[in-house]
Structure 1
Amino acid sequence: MAQRVRELRAAGKKVISLLLGEPDFPVPAPLQEAAIAAIREGHAPYPPVAGIPPLREAIAAYYHRRYGLPYQGAQVVVSNGSKQAIYNALLALLEPGEEVIVPAPYWVSYLPLIQLAEARPVIVPTTAETGYKLLPHQLEAAITPATRALILCSPSNPTGTAYTPTELHALAEVLEKHPQIWVISDEIYELIRYEGEAFSPAQLPALYERTVICNGFSKAFAMPGWRLGYLIAPQPLAEAATKVQGQTTAGANLIAQKAALAGLTGNLESLVAPMLEAFRARRDALYTYLHTHLPETRPYLPTGAFYYFLDISAFLGRQTPSGQPLTSADDVAEYLLQEGVAVVSGSAFGSDRHIRLSYAVALPEIEAGVQRLTQALRALQN
């Protein structure tokens, strides 16, 4: 869809894009300065496969400070983005034919990454009524002798909802009966949270020794193009993930690592706070607009990340002004694109009755985009 937007814009069509999960803020100045200083050092050797020791120690210290988790630097593997961290974890954990439970909606890359690891994703649908969160009885029903891992993303892409400590405790009670199952906890949005307590599955004693945390710097530090992520795991798994990475990409970009180190060892809260407040204002404005003008989409207030996952069921089965029937989320996304606003079809996330809007763009762009979206949906015919 992003390529389609570029093509339409090149042809002179005005398209407002609410597609990408890419913050529209500059990289914080201390990180820029650290990167420039690293370049000016003029020395750029191959970095250690698992990351430079000061950054690994800083990541461990951050998780100890924020979550009380007693990690050591040796348990951290710095990677080329959080996607690689997830893939490293899957390759280190899984044997061919094993199963990974994936609550839906899910991030678009989970299924392909599991399949590349020659394992099988087991998709468990969730609903708006439960905040698009996996329930204990659903987890229990999905477990088989082949189950090896559960992927959780909190706050979630695409829904923006997050698990509470109580909800994670309930899932942990199920997993306690199945000690062969690991939790891969995708925490890339953990600093972009508006309400509620930040909580990791690794904080639960029953799960600490079988949780792999996957995180990165793309979202909270607004540096997606720098490609820097990491995993934290029990040391044997961290060592296995290091071996995997050593035979694929080797170490992550040295300049990006030194920039990230400056972010983690500086005043982290002051770096993130302005962006977080801007996202909160956009979220609230978008909710007010949707609640007023498109209540059929069942708008809700996301607790984190920067997405709305809108229910378009009420508009399926209708026709465009030109007579084209809309029978799926893909149809709706294509129609909206032709009307000048780009969104992501929910089919990419495992739901054919939703579309995803990103509010990682400036508020005037968001307002113009949802106005076009509303006009386009209101123009549909029964």
Structure 2
Amino acid sequence: MLGDLLDQLFGLTLFEYISVRVVAAALTSFALALLLGAPTIRWLKSLRVDDNVDTSGSADLATVSRDAGKDRTPSMGGSFLVVSFLSGVLLWGDMTRPLVYLGFVLVAGLGAVGFLDDYTKLTRPKSGGMSRRAKWLGLSVVCLYAIGAAVQSARLTGRSRLTSLYPPLFKNVEISPLEWAGIWGVVGLVGFIAFEWLVVVGAANAANITDGLDGLAAGCVFISGLALTIFCYVTGREDWTSYLNVPYVEDASHMAVVGGALCGACMGFLWFNAYPAKVFMGDSGSLPLGGVLGWMAFVSKQELVLPLIASVLVIDAGSSWLQTFYFRHSGGKRIFTCAPIHHGLQLYGGVFVKRPERMHEVTVVIRFWILAAVGALASLALLKIR
């Protein structure tokens, strides 16, 4: 509305450019996070919303967390992060675009599930939050709605590229399961939606697992989100996709505005979450942040590259899931010193073997940020390699 008004009064068309709105969304979300952060933290402290530190079954981690005062640090900081993020999208994103609208609904829905989980932990400290079944049901309903609506919209408008998969490193290779004939078409439809559900829900849970050290999850999501913002912008530009030989997805460039808001909100949250953290993210922030990374990968057709784009999230989540699986099926044995592996480095200085000296939390976080940046840069290089 502001853009239309400026155009009518002064002939200014500045806000028609997506690149301008990406920057504006980032600055708006950043400023809102700074404005909302301090009063939200004071409010959470007044409610004694203290984080139930996930000790992963480690007494050493419980001791370290207690000694560092983390048991007295308020959680649910993701609430003001998500509000800042969604506000930036509402102000600068084009909500008439289905991909932007569904992305907004996805983040709001995952944020609601995470908030309910955090609130349950607050009101029922011994419950550990929502039951695993209820939490997975909530995540699945939100994700399946967004993915199903996007797939149906793509089918009705003939945008087949959105419902295809594109393996990296290969030219002109396209997997289109929705175009298979007969019963295989039904199988392809169900399989594609299930795969995209796995991408979005998996990314949401990976961010949730990574959220264990001050600034770790927010910093890694910022880096991965910046790379995916570039991917979305490129994928929505027909001239650029033609030059780079990558799939063109109409309206994907508008998701870059969502990516800008994501990066700005993460920067604003890091202002308060950097070591020593004044507030923790909680499920109300980590679940929607991870989910929107998966959604942006879906829109930009980088689902198969997402493990590289969000390498730290995948490594942390993979180590946690692998440790749990091996522990249950080996009679109590462990692969890693502690999982997720950022805690192994923090507590024991090593991933597989305990070392005499611990690694400081800040050192672990910064090195993981570096790994995240390397993965994001490597993923962007695949644009030209293809």
State TM-score, norm by structure 1.
0.29
Higher strand fraction: Structure 1 or Structure 2?
1
Higher helix fraction: Structure 1 or Structure 2?
2
